[in-house]
Structure 1
Amino acid sequence: MMDYSLGKGDFENWVVSDTAFSPDTLGKTESIMYLGNGYMGLRSATEEPYLKEVRNLLVSGTFNKFSEEEVTELPNVSDMTRLDIRVDGERFSLELGETKEYVKQLNLKTAELTRTFNWTSPKGKELRFHFRRFVSLDNLHLIGMKMDIESLTDPVEISFDSGINAQLSNTGSQHFHEGEKRIFDKRFVQLIQTTIESNIDIVLNTAHQLTLNGKNVQEEPVMNMDRRKVWLTFDLALQPGDKLELEKLTTVYTSRDKEFDTPEYQLKKLREHSLNDLRSSSEKGYDALFQSHKEAWKNKVWSVYNFEVNSENPFDQLSLRFALYHLTVMTPAHDERMGIAAKALSGEGYKGHSFWDTELFILPFFTYSNPEVAKSLLKYRYHGLAGARSKAKDNGYEGAMYPWEAAWPTDGEVTPVWGAVDIVTGEQTKIWSGFIEQHITSDIAFAVYQYYNVTGDQEFMNKYGYEMVFDTARFWTSRLEWNKAKQEYHINNVIGPDEYKEHVDNNAFTNYMAHFNIKLAISYYDKLEKENPTLLSNLTKQLDLKEAYKLWKSKLTKIYLPKPRKEDAVIPQDDTYLHLNVLDLTKYKQADKVGTLFSEYNLEQVNQMQITKQADVMILLYLLEQADNVFTNEIKQANFDYYEPKTTHDSSLSLSTHAIMANDLGKNELAYLLFKKASEIDLGPFMHSSDHGIHAASLGGIWQAAVFGFAGIRLVEGKLRINPRLPKHWKDMKFTINWKGQPVSLTITNDILTIHPLNGGMITFEVFGNTYETNQEMEVKLEEETSNIF
């Protein structure tokens, strides 16, 4: 049972808790309480094992193929969290005996997982258990664990096995050769794994320190080895009141780490370095290492983002902190060769692949809040140009055609071909996204545009950004299809953001975003021609831009862009959508579980109805406002009212966009309801919502709904616009963004916007149509402004 009220004092609205153990709903807290630092993610399985548990340790960038018949995925690395505990010789499990005062919780502020309970054994002996765990943000290679066991009533024999277990797989796919195992000094345990196809070495080291009533335990453990497993066995006797304490520290290193991924790489040096790190860490101990980790969270995260919401509903503040926590632990900020997985590093869902989720739902947070991380994520896409160019060539196109699912940058397309069952035919459903969901190419170009306009980072554009925009535009001009009868270019046989509509022609989002991409390339070409002809000359030689520029200019105005209908201002989602049958979606939209529609219809049937999986036309209107602002509020209103009732929100990406648009349109209560529903995708009471991992993009969307929605922050034609409209029960919100290279602090109430450029640089911004400029703290009254929104 989830409980968010247990944080007290300095930890009020910082703690996510589960207060009732259930062996049938383990996945919820394993996922939403997972620990990480961007280098690795550790799923928060319990120490003692259960049948329905999922133990995952995923390390960014370590992709491998199990066989040629499968796509590459992040492999499930060895587990060191499992402790096989025996009490008086019998297996310890919460399914046996009696459990009281059970609390498992994640403290978002300190990024520490704890679990505490009293347990009475089947023999009637009562013990107190307390577990602690963290994945260090100070040392990206370090995992800390701690276990306290106290005998409350009787003498008791405690025995447990602890070590490194490589007998794991990715739901059956084994990605590793069995490597060497070693125990040093009967204390330091080492195991090596090597991926079978990508040949990445992973070295894990773990060490134990036991104390009884504060004194080091001198008895030596029993050493054990088995296939893909090495461990130590400890046996101790406790008297009533005795307290056993175990500290277990682990280091994880790979040959893909930047400092080792060199031509001079030697496994021997990697082993020595990783073991020395563990020895050094062991001298410090759990508490000192945890303190350094806690300080890193304070200095690198909470003090930087400064996000506070004063709401009558404390859950709002908690949900935003939850989003910021996960945006931090999911992001490989240490290495620009790595992207963000759709399930982050919390589970095996989507195989660790990156989608358009990153650019449109996660990247904006970093662009506005931590530009260095945003730059790293965009450089990942730059490194992916090789794979994008290969995909374009393989499909008969030019330029760069980005893969729908991406892994290691040079891997190219890694989308699986087959998916879930078709409830009508009983066959596997073919996944067409890797073949025809192509809008991701322009989504990445948009992300470059947004980053450049918010940060002003010219160096990035010169080295990476212009090339990405030019080559994606080259793809689109080769992708356009000439319709002789209508004398215009179409884009046929695609999937738009609404994946319930396959093989459609002229998806509005795809067409408009392709048009945006080409138009952006033209503007950048013209800019470089005037300001940096040398760079343009170099890129022209590389990409044949003179010919590309001619094609861009000749084709741009002839691209078919679906226009709002005269009778109701609705933009057709594609050529056929508005002619399909309408189905009442009320019961599906109100269901606890997403995708319930498919218990009654298959995808082919859904394809023939006006049913939308997620924001499609709506996200188009939202994005293009930031570039051209070509759509009026009346058009936005008409399309929101038409499409939202037909949208199931089965994609976790959908709710945040609708929340932003609802707020823009003055639908305040609906905007807040959609924000709350987005917040409850992972944090809600449904205990199977996150079994396969957290919803990474939705967490970025929660931040966007608050900042771009309620705070009204928006990039509009290169300028900063701030049109706040807080929910009625929010008294104020405070946060920091980064604009044109300097942090800017904002405090918003229902009456006043306070803006403070923290470095003293001049900032120009617009509030409800009025333009302001300041280089110091400034207040803008909102009461009179809000009456002039429309």
Structure 2
Amino acid sequence: MLDYSLGQGAYENWVLAERDFSALHLGKSETVMMLGNGYLGLRSATEEPYLNEQRNLFINGTFNQADKNEVTELPNAADTTRLDIRIDGQRFSLEFGNSEDYSKQLNLKNAELIRSFVWTSPKGKELQFRFSRFAFFDNLHLIGMKMEVECLSHAVVLSIDSGIDARMSNSGVQHFLEGDHRIIEEHFLQLTQTTTQSEIDFVHNAVHILKINDERITGKADKDIDRRRVWLSFEAGLEPGDSFEMEKLITVHTSRDKDRDAEPYSLMHLQKHSHAELKKLEEKGYEKLAESHRLAWQKKVWDEYPFEVESENPTDQLALRFSLYHLTAMAPAHDDRLGIGAKALSGEAYKGHSFWDTEIFILPFFIFSAPETARSLLTYRYRGLPSARRKAIENGYAGAMYPWEMAWPTDGEATPEWGGIDIVTGERTKIWPGLIEHHISADIAFAVYQYANATGDKEFMERYGYEMVFETARFWASRLEWNEKRQQFEITDVIGPDEYKEHVDNNAFTNYMAYFNLKLAMHYAEVVEKKNPELFAKFDVEQAYCEWHSKAAQLHLPKPREPDSILPQDDTYLQLPDIDLGKYKKQKKSRTIYRDYNPEQVNRIQVTKQADVVLLFYLMEQTFLKDDFRFTQQAKRANFLYYEARTLHDSSLSLTTHVIAANDIGEYEYAYELFRRACLIDMGPNMDSSDDGIHAAAIGGIWKAAVFGFAGVRQSEGVLKINPRLPVKWKRMQFRIYWQSQSLQFDITDKLLKITSEGNKSIHVETDGTGYELLHSLEIPLADY
């Protein structure tokens, strides 16, 4: 179980720790304590190996298709963190002997993993171990490791095998050719491997620095090379009181790295360059590099994203820092060809693919906190336009039909065909989202709209944004089907956000988002025609505009039923039978309903996997549809209560939307309860919840729930609105966002909203329906709620 009490003094509420070692529950700490910098993600497996471990190193964007019947995925790169340790010739393992004062902790402030314990061997020999590790924030290619051992009782012989191990796979799937490996200048290791289909070169380098009692060991190590592996073996005799240190510096470069674009690519050059780089890093050593790494995190993360909460529950502050840490570790801010996977870079699940999770749940943090990174992530989607157009053509449509799962921008649809077991038939279930979950195209258009309103980035819109919106609108115009009986266009045979309802007609979320997409394209076409006629002619949307206008006007938009204002999730949802969902609402593990029902049966009852209609209300109020009669405050409350009772939150991205909605309708205590549940998805006591990787959308949702929910920050048609409603347990919250290129600092209590601007331009803000002009600072008394 995780322990949050280890951080003291300057590190209070900065440390996640594990106080007891369990070889049966390794995945939890491996995931939540992962190290990353957006380029690489390193799962925090222990140095010594265990049967149930998952050792992962992923390099963002290096997708490979292992076979024709497989989809492209991020390959698990060579392992450099494993150490085979022997004490007096016997394999070291915490499963043998006795350990005391065990602690494995991630210091979020320093972005450093530290593990320590006192171990007594089966023969009664006592040793103090300490391991530390970081993934450099500035030099994206560098991983640093350090092992320290102190002999406390009897003399021992310490032996270590350490190197680069390319005998890795993705759940048994091999993505690499054999490659080249060598030992240079006696102590530098280099291993090169190439992916089987995408032909991406990986060059791994490693060097060791050894000391006994602070004096560097100059003797030679035993050198070994085997199939897919190169390593060194070290041996040292330690007397009581002696200390041993081993620093290991590792770099990994690939032929797909962005900085390779500046010059003609040569594998030999990459090998020589990366080796020369590591030689310079060796001169600095672990401690100097670690200190530089800590300073980089402080300057570029914690100083940039200050977020303080005074709460009766101190883990609220830790949860927000946990969110900021992982959002930073997962974001490829350095390369606009890369996206963010549903598990970030922390596990093999979802194969490193990007979903709608990015645009709806993760991107808002970057839009309001790091606009340049948000632009990069949206540019990644722009680079996927050719494959989106290709998917549209393959399915008989026009425009851009975005892949449900997107890998490298040109890879096209990357959703697997088959999933888990059908509990009734015993056969594998078909994965339908890649074929019929179409709302992602409108989700991306919404993200462009939100980014443009919050940043005012006209250059992005002219180069990328307008085209993305126009092309997705072309898709929707071609996707609509005419219903002669209704005398309306409709959208049939889809999956909405609620993936427990497959092959439904007129999913409200999908229809309204398509409508929004069409209307947004019309608006942008009018803007471009007026302000940049030459660009308007280039986009060639004059005829398309007429089609968008006609079809949007005739698109079926589900209406709230009378007299309770419930918006039908789809054509049949409200006619389906209810069942007692009590045991599933109390479940400790998600998707337990599939242990009693198969997908076809779930499709025929009123049960919802995740926020769907509730999410629609939240998104629409940020658009020009905010005053639509179907989205009144009364309807918002009615729909929240109705669908919350039927929503199992079997997707980790669901809870934080309901946090925001509950707070908006005055259900403040319940909103905070849902917030705590959302924080516990990865940080909670369930030791199996994060085995497959971090829940990236939920991580982004923690920040969203605090800022958009409790602080009440919202962009609405380009207007910044702030309607704070802090939880009772929160006395104060302070944070920073960017709005129209200006940095705004917020200080909120239950009585006062204070905003400070670092810019010189007046900003119009609204609070509880009253408008204010903010120049340098603004204080607004808050009414009781």
Query: What letter matches 1:377 in structure 2?
Result: L
- Offset at 1:529? 1.2
Query: What letter matches 1:90 in structure 2?
Result: Q
Query: What letter matches 1:577 in structure 2?
Result: Y
- Offset at 1:296? 0.8
Q: How big is each residue's C-alpha offset from its partner over 1:344-384, in whole Å with a ceiling of 9 and x where there is no partner?
A: 00000100000000000000000001100000000000000
Q: How big is each residue's C-alpha offset from its partner over 1:483-530, in whole Å with a ceiling of 9 and x where there is no partner?
A: 011100000000000000000000000000000000000000111111
- Offset at 1:716? 1.3
Query: What letter matches 1:502 in structure 2?
Result: E
Count matched residues. Answer: 781
Q: Does 1:584 align with 2:602?
A: no
Partner of 2:74: 74
Query: What letter matches 1:233 in structure 2?
Result: S
CA distance in 2, matches of 1:344, 1:108: 17
Unmatched 5+ residue regions in structure 2? none
Q: Does 1:613 align with 2:587?
A: no
Partner of 1:455: 455
CA distance in 2, matches of 1:755, 1:586: 44
- Offset at 1:621? 0.3
Query: What letter matches 1:178 in structure 2?
Result: E
Partner of 1:556: 552
**Aligned to 2:250, what secondary structure does the other structure show?**
strand
Q: Does 1:758 align with 2:758?
A: yes
CA distance in 2, matches of 1:760, 1:208: 52
Q: How big is each residue's C-alpha offset from its partner over 1:657-714, in whole Å with a ceiling of 9 and x where there is no partner?
A: 0000000000000000011000000000000000000000000001000000000000
CA distance in 2, matches of 1:742, 1:761: 8
Q: How does 1:232-631 map to 2 (within 5 A)?
A: 232-261=232-261, 264-540=264-540, 545-627=541-623, 628-629=625-626, 630=628, 631=631
CA distance in 2, matches of 1:547, 1:412: 28
CA distance in 1, matches of 2:185, 2:162: 16
- Offset at 1:277? 1.3
**Aligned to 1:734, what secondary structure does the other structure show?**
strand
Partner of 1:707: 707
- Offset at 1:583? 1.5
**Aligned to 2:448, what secondary structure does the other structure show?**
helix
Q: Does 1:55 align with 2:55?
A: yes
- Offset at 1:431? 0.1
CA distance in 2, matches of 1:779, 1:486: 53
CA distance in 2, matches of 1:717, 1:777: 23
Query: What letter matches 2:226 in structure 1?
Result: D
Calculate percent identity across the aligned residue pairs.
60
**Aligned to 1:260, what secondary structure does the other structure show?**
helix
- Offset at 1:263? 7.3
- Offset at 1:163? 0.3
Q: How does 1:16-55 map to 2 (within 5 A)?
A: 16-55=16-55
Partner of 2:118: 118
**Aligned to 1:159, what secondary structure does the other structure show?**
strand
Query: What letter matches 2:562 in structure 1?
Result: K
**Aligned to 1:183, what secondary structure does the other structure show?**
strand
Query: What letter matches 1:561 in structure 2?
Result: L
Query: What letter matches 1:134 in structure 2?
Result: F
CA distance in 1, matches of 2:332, 2:641: 39
- Offset at 1:763? 1.2
Q: Is the 8 A contact 1:255 1:261 kept in 2?
A: no
Partner of 1:166: 166
**Aligned to 2:169, what secondary structure does the other structure show?**
coil
Q: Is the 8 A contact 1:663 1:709 kept in 2?
A: yes
Q: Does 1:175 align with 2:171?
A: no
Query: What letter matches 1:385 in structure 2?
Result: L
Q: How does 1:88-99 map to 2 (within 5 A)?
A: 88-99=88-99
Query: What letter matches 1:277 in structure 2?
Result: E
Question: TM-score if structure 2 supplies the norm length?
Answer: 0.99
CA distance in 2, matches of 1:441, 1:126: 60
CA distance in 2, matches of 1:730, 1:750: 9
CA distance in 2, matches of 1:312, 1:523: 47
CA distance in 2, matches of 1:438, 1:763: 37
- Offset at 1:635? 0.4
Q: How big is each residue's C-alpha offset from its partner over 1:172-191, in whole Å with a ceiling of 9 and x where there is no partner?
A: 11000011101011211000
Partner of 2:692: 692
Query: What letter matches 1:595 in structure 2?
Result: R
Q: How does 1:122-161 map to 2 (within 5 A)?
A: 122-161=122-161
- Offset at 1:261? 4.0
Q: How does 1:713-752 map to 2 (within 5 A)?
A: 713-752=713-752
CA distance in 1, matches of 2:461, 2:152: 64
CA distance in 2, matches of 1:773, 1:657: 30
**Aligned to 1:305, what secondary structure does the other structure show?**
coil
- Offset at 1:473? 0.1
- Offset at 1:547? 2.0
Q: How big is each residue's C-alpha offset from its partner over 1:605-654, in whole Å with a ceiling of 9 and x where there is no partner?
A: 11110000000000000000000212111000110111001000000010
Q: How big is each residue's C-alpha offset from its partner over 1:83-117, in whole Å with a ceiling of 9 and x where there is no partner?
A: 00000000000000001110000000000000000
CA distance in 2, matches of 1:667, 1:259: 50
Q: Is the 8 A contact 1:311 1:317 kept in 2?
A: yes
**Aligned to 2:534, what secondary structure does the other structure show?**
helix
CA distance in 1, matches of 2:696, 2:287: 30
- Offset at 1:584? 1.6
CA distance in 2, matches of 1:282, 1:245: 15
- Offset at 1:546? 2.0
- Offset at 1:262? 6.3
**Aligned to 1:308, what secondary structure does the other structure show?**
strand
Query: What letter matches 1:611 in structure 2?
Result: V
CA distance in 2, matches of 1:689, 1:277: 39
- Offset at 1:597? 1.0
CA distance in 1, matches of 2:614, 2:81: 44
CA distance in 1, matches of 2:38, 2:568: 40
RMSD, aligned α-carbons? 0.7
- Offset at 1:307? 0.6
Partner of 2:230: 230
Partner of 2:664: 664
- Offset at 1:655? 0.2
CA distance in 2, matches of 1:441, 1:388: 9
| Residues 263 and 425 (structure 1), Cα distance of their counterparts in 2 relative to 1, 3 Å cut | farther
Partner of 1:84: 84
Query: What letter matches 2:754 in structure 1?
Result: T
Query: What letter matches 1:568 in structure 2?
Result: D
Partner of 2:640: 640
- Offset at 1:538? 1.1
Structure 1 segments of 4+ aligned residues over 4 angstroms from their partners: none
**Aligned to 1:409, what secondary structure does the other structure show?**
coil
- Offset at 1:218? 1.8
Q: Is the 8 A contact 1:585 1:646 kept in 2?
A: yes
- Offset at 1:778? 1.5
CA distance in 1, matches of 2:17, 2:166: 30
**Aligned to 2:232, what secondary structure does the other structure show?**
strand
CA distance in 2, matches of 1:760, 1:125: 67
Question: TM-score if structure 1 supplies the norm length?
Answer: 0.98
Query: What letter matches 2:594 in structure 1?
Result: F
Partner of 1:104: 104
CA distance in 1, matches of 2:527, 2:714: 24
